[in-house]
């Protein structure tokens, strides 16, 4: 009998030991894997049932904010500027995940990054949750001006405005755009319906053309051509070019026309101001291989 009791006690100890090892393995070794697993609905619900900080423009308008709600998510994400910042803010969607700034700065908005830093004792004891605010370099006023200009020009396209000194983005707007608010709703059937409607739209409103599409550089490349020509000594600001409507291209039977068939030329300064195609095509031909090496220096 004593031998059987000893065996039973030893078996219980072994089982407790195995349980201890398994618990530590799950809670320490596999913790990150289990916490971030896509099928871990509890973690997903926890992330969506916590407050998020605001996304603000450089001129302090609210792009995104959270308000309390009476459901399992506890907070509803709102986008007061709607489609004006849709491509930038992205959407915080339980069904489709976080995109745009919502996804890129998720740790800052939920306060997870701040939580990794040392908290004071009062915050620890109170269980206070921290959130972070993301401030964009983009101004709402500049964004509205870009949207208005595109609307006046036909409503489709993209506008990007950069600060030439710092490189900061002052405006970043693509049209057509989309309102992220329906994608952040808590009724998942309506969220899916809205998403499918956006996807089925032939104008592709969810496509941010300014940074998710590839286009020929067009007239923006004249900045590079001008810089290379000035650096190489091929031209100065006062160098003059003939006024043409079309430039014959060597070794081809084709010509390069100016926009709208307009005639332009004159000094390099004037040609740059009016974006004269024939002048910069000729400048590129004059530079030859020096243009290619100059392009490389621009990355």
* Residue 26 DSSP class: I
Q: Residue 212 and residue 219: Cα distance in Å, rounded?
A: 20
Burial of 100 per CB tally in 10 Å (0-12, 13-18, 19+):
buried
175 is catalytic: no
Question: β-pairing, 169-175 with 157-162?
Answer: antiparallel
Candidates 219, 227, 293, 297; catalytic one: 219
Q: Give me the DSSP letters along 122-141.
A: HHHHHTPPP---EE-S--HH
Secondary structure E strands in 154-278: 157-162, 169-175, 240-244, 246-248, 255-257, 264-267
Tokens linked to 80: 């007061």
Catalytically active residues, by annotation: 219
């Amino acid at each position: 009998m004593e031998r059987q009791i000893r065996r039973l006690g030893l078996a219980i100890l072994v089982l407790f030991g195995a349980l201890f090892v398994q618990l530590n393995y799950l809670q320490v070794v596999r913790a990150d894997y289990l916490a971030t697993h896509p099928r871990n609905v509890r973690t997903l619900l926890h992330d969506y049932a916590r407050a998020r900080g605001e996304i603000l423009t450089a001129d302090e308008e609210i792009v995104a904010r959270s308000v309390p709600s009476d459901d399992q998510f506890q907070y509803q994400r709102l986008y007061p500027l709607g489609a004006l910042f849709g491509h930038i803010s992205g959407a915080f969607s339980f069904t489709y995940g976080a995109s745009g700034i919502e996804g890129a700065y998720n740790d800052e908005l939920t306060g997870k990054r701040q939580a990794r830093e040392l908290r004071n004792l009062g915050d620890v004891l109170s269980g206070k949750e921290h959130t972070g605010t993301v401030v964009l370099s983009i101004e709402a006023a500049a964004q509205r001006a870009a949207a208005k200009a595109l609307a006046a020009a036909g409503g489709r396209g993209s506008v990007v405005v950069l600060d030439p000194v710092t490189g900061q983005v002052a405006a970043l707007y693509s049209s057509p755009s989309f309102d992220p608010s329906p994608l952040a709703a808590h009724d998942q059937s309506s969220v899916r319906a809205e998403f499918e409607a956006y996807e089925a739209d032939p104008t592709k409103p969810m496509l941010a053309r300014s940074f998710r599409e590839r286009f020929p550089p067009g007239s923006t490349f004249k900045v590079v051509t001008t810089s290379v020509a000035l650096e190489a000594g091929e031209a100065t600001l006062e160098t003059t070019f003939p006024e043409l409507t079309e430039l014959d291209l060597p070794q081809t039977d084709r010509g390069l026309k100016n926009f709208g068939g307009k005639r332009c030329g004159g000094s390099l300064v004037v040609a740059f101001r009016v974006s004269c195609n024939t002048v910069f095509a000729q400048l590129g031909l004059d530079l030859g291989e020096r243009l290619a090496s100059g392009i490389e220096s621009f990355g």
